[in-house]
Structure 1
């Protein structure tokens, strides 16, 4: 069995590592000509850290990430409203890491090339089309450097090609539009001194304006500024995680904030760069793939990035995919079992993230209920994760 994975993002690379660990050959094709450390910070929740640790990457993660110790909710004057421990401090057997997205991707890429070989990830190859055939899938690729088209065969195709997935578009040509929450996001990374414990994530809210900030190592603070500008509805524009933003558009919402222990206007002003993004998702699909073709990560279940769960869910997808393919007697059965396990679970996260984006929490008790409800809705309770059987095959 050889699985062709479209997309060398976090989910696609984890899928390649997971399949290899389960004794299944995998090849990754990536449209970009070079895999570069793009983006800003993300969080890996304990359920994702567990999976990467079981893939033998625990020490590498610890070397590049910051083990988050607490979430602190505050008002713009620095008054703490609610705090809760995170990761190991909350009782999980695995930490929560704050990490630069691009550095995590390069970590995974290096591991794939070490374990699967230097040619396991083929860059500059754009998926054009695919068709199932007897005993496999025929995939048409375009070499972006030469312009030449080529066809390759595989036992299965996994579309891990992100928000604008070519695989999803061919499986679901009438899959509906991107849905905008009405919230505009600006994101950046700033060199600054750590705040509070040095391993704290802070969420500061006032009305329709919110700031999230946390350290990601090497003297850097990641920040996300969110402003509700509209009622939810279909997105009339494009959505690109790496679109450049302007300080003049975001700073006026935060220039009067004075936390005392964190200089919010300075954080935004001194950022290495600013990215702008409309917070979007899609309606959960009734089915992801068919036969020997399926989806993974944002291609399958794009979600609002409010629960720090997008990358984490793609990592769990990858592990379940490998587990079910290894356990099944044939490819189609394995992919169907994978979807059965993950489609309903990730749909619950999509809906929980929508609810989280609308909830202000308010009081300390309200915030506590909100975070506890989110854990229950997304299946990330401490006891559930700590007692769940391993997905490692063999």
Structure 2
């Protein structure tokens, strides 16, 4: 019997495998994609996420891949700076905030899983179809996409780390409705060969009250950018495909996106130039789900986006998945073979904090859609988000490690 079966080989699933291995617990990852490639655009790892990956022995790899973000600068569409918030090391954390290419982080984690757990620890092209669970174990039915054959894997626990449209979540919570849409459309890309701006370690968030821009460097002469435009009131994601699907990114149209930024003149950053330097522009809606009071049952639970999908406001999704993975391994190690007790302890530790982050991201997005900002509003929003969604500097710096006792 497989001790822990992880459905989903994304950042959360791979970090869970590494964390379980570090705790002395074997794991197998099944991933539907036939090949894990360095896809996607930029993302951020907050200090609380960086700490956990550093304690897994990945600090040097993160430093080589990412840019240590020093500040977040809010401004209007003419480049007038309204509010600046220090980030990471500059704020006093012992660990940086890294702006990093998602695909490169993903491949690094995959390499480390195969190095530490073995070359067969991640089975790609293997789709989870269904599962049954009982007091003594879980039977997961999976499909080999290459041969179309199915098999049943017996495991002591099943972790659904299978993303926004999670199969595990759908089986656990069949009553859930469609995704919730913020009413915002997003265009994203990575500009190659772009000139650095401000300090070279700055994240900028700009708005004219209707459209917003987020941009930050991710190393090697690249700037990640996101254009966000509120086009409707928040509600249920349309099923007709009119605004796209969050996990089926359609090709973004540069002219369509750029039309929302006419008259912008930041001075130190050119929106049109960012788009022109980007080989691929992705477009998709900003979505999440209402938080669940409990994620799983018995020997089955959820992790990462499968458990708590959230708006990107606050750039916290990946870090929350990393925290999930570390707490999961800690509680299973503490449970000493009592898997249901370990998973219950994991949920008790994580459901509340993760729900607070989802709610804080909604608060930030709703505030962003109400028009132009004032410095006082920005300071208040930043303070509220930190209180609800991030560890205070002193708290994180002093918190005991999540590595199980006796492990390193």
What's the TM-score, normalizing by structure 1? 0.98
Aligned pairs for 1:20-169 within 5 A: 20-169=21-170
Question: Secondary structure in 2 aligned to 1:56?
Answer: helix
Q: Distance in 1 between matches of 2:354 and 2:134?
A: 30
Query: Residue in 2 aligned with 1:350?
Result: 358
Q: Distance in 2 between matches of 1:386 and 1:245?
A: 41
CA distance in 2, matches of 1:358, 1:205: 14
Q: 1:216 aligns to what?
A: 218
2-structure distance, mates of 1:10, 1:258: 36
1:9 is matched with 10
* Aligned-partner SS, 1:275: strand
Deviation at 1:248, TM superposition (A): 2.1
Cα deviation for residue 298 of structure 1 reads 0.4
Q: Once the two structures are superposed, what CA deviation does each residue of 1:73-116 show, in whole Å capped at 9, x if it has no partner?
A: 11111111111211000000100000000100001000000100
Note if 1:316 corresponds to 2:316. no
Residue by residue, what CA displacement relative to the aligned partner does 1:113-137 show, whole Å, maximum 9, x if unpaired? 0100000000000001111144211
In 2, Cα distance between equivalents of 1:254 and 1:210:
9
Give me the whole-angstrom Cα distance separating, in 1, the residues matched to 2:80 and 2:204.
11
Instruction: Please give the TM-score of this superposition, normalised by the length of structure 2.
Output: 0.95
Q: Pick one of 391, 394, 397 that aligns with 1:380.
A: 391
Q: Distance in 2 between matches of 1:208 and 1:269?
A: 22
2:126, 2:247 → 1: CA distance? 20
**Structure 2 SS opposite 1:55:** helix
Which segment drifts farther, 43-52 or 74-83? Answer: 74-83
The residue number in structure 2 matching 1:328 is 335
| Secondary structure of 2:250 counterpart | coil
- State the alpha-carbon separation in 1 of the partners of residues 103 and 249 from structure 2: 12
- Alignment RMSD (CA, Å): 1.1
Aligned counterparts of 1:372 and 1:249: Cα–Cα separation in 2: 34
2:238 counterpart residue number? 236
Query: How many angstroms does 1:380 deviate by?
Result: 2.0
1:38-78 C-alpha deviation (Å, 9 max, x unpaired): 11000000000000000000000000100001101111111
**Partner of 1:201: helix, strand, or coil?**
strand
Equivalent-residue separation in structure 1 for 2:84 and 2:121 (angstroms): 44
Aligned to 1:340: 348
Query: Which residue of 2 is the match for residue 275 of structure 1?
Result: 282
How far, CA to CA, are the matches of 1:199 and 1:213 in structure 2? 11
**Which residue is equivalent to 1:201?**
203
Query: In 2, are the aligned partners of 1:68 and 1:87 still within 8 Å (CA)?
Result: yes
Q: Distance in 1 between matches of 2:307 and 2:272?
A: 37
Distance (whole Å) between structure 2 residues aligned to residue 16 and residue 59 of structure 1 = 19
1:118-164 Cα offsets, whole Å, 9 max, x none, are 00000000001111144211110000000000111111000000000
Q: Deviations over 1:7-43 (max 9, x none)?
A: 0000000000000000000010000000011110000
* Structure 1, unpaired ranges of 5+: none
Shift of 1:269: 2.6
Conserved? CA contact 2:197–2:268, under 8 Å: yes
Aligned partner of 2:380 among 366, 369, 373: 369
Matched-pair contact (CA < 8 Å) for 1:255–1:265: no
Distance 1:289 1:134 in 2: 14
Q: Which secondary structure state, in structure 2, belongs to the residue aligned with residue 155 of structure 1?
A: strand
Distance, in Å, in 2 between the alignment partners of 1:381 and 1:60 is 25
CA contact (8 A) 2:209 2:373 kept: no
Secondary structure of the structure 2 residue equivalent to 1:308: coil
CA distance in 1: counterparts of 2:263 and 2:151, whole angstroms: 57
Aligned to 2:333, the other structure's residue is in SS state helix
Does the CA contact (< 8 Å) of 2:190 and 2:224 recur in 1? yes
User: What is aligned with 1:188?
Assistant: 189
Q: 2:242 is matched with which residue?
A: none
CA-to-partner distance for each residue in 1:333-392, whole Å, 9 max, x for gaps? 000010111111111111110000011482222211110110001142111211111101
Q: For 1:281 and 1:242, how far apart are their aligned partners in 2?
A: 16
Q: Is the CA contact 1:139–1:153 (under 8 Å) kept in the aligned structure 2?
A: yes
Matches of 1:143 and 1:50, distance apart in 2:
36
Separation in structure 2 between the aligned mates of residue 241 and residue 10 of structure 1, nearest angstrom: 18
Q: Secondary structure of 2:20's match?
A: helix
